[in-house]
Amino acid sequence: MTSQGASVTAPCGACGGVLTRNVGQRIDQDEVRWEAETTCTGCRAGGSTPPTAGTTPEEIRQLLLTEHGPARLTLTDGTANLISVTRVLSRAHGLPLGEARSKAAELRTTGLVGTLVEMEWLATALRERAVTVTVGPATAG
């Protein structure tokens, strides 16, 4: 199972203690799930969001990207069936076919960039359609 987590601290607005926010993203039951928990060392301030399927909130994505860096999904076979790629991207992201075609073209040229969990989840869906892909660190340039 692919997963990533990150933590960030801030002063607690209630007591001045240290407020810690732990966030995570993982692949579970063929879905990307995210969760968050906030706790204070000085008081009972805080709360949690249980593992939730669906689009990860941008704030959580940014914490993961800052902590771990982005991952890049690339095609390893330039002759991959773009119809299969387009269908996977359309279903995975709920995109109209035109937008999915644009994403497929991006995958073919520069690759798609996101969190490691997001890219591994897409990679699994593409491999199930016999599309050969790799996931690695996204480097500048």
Token pair belonging to 79: 């002759």
In 3D space, the residue among 82, 49, 68 whose CA is nearest the CA of residue 7 turns out to be: 68
- Does the domain at residues 71-137 carry the CATH identifier 3.90.420.10? no
Taking the domains of the chain in order of start, what are their residue ranges? 3-68, 71-137
* Global pTM value: 0.88
- For 41-96, the pLDDT digits (tens) are 999 889 999 999 989 999 999 999 999 999 999 998 766 778 889 999 998 888 89
Rounded mean pLDDT of 14-37? 94
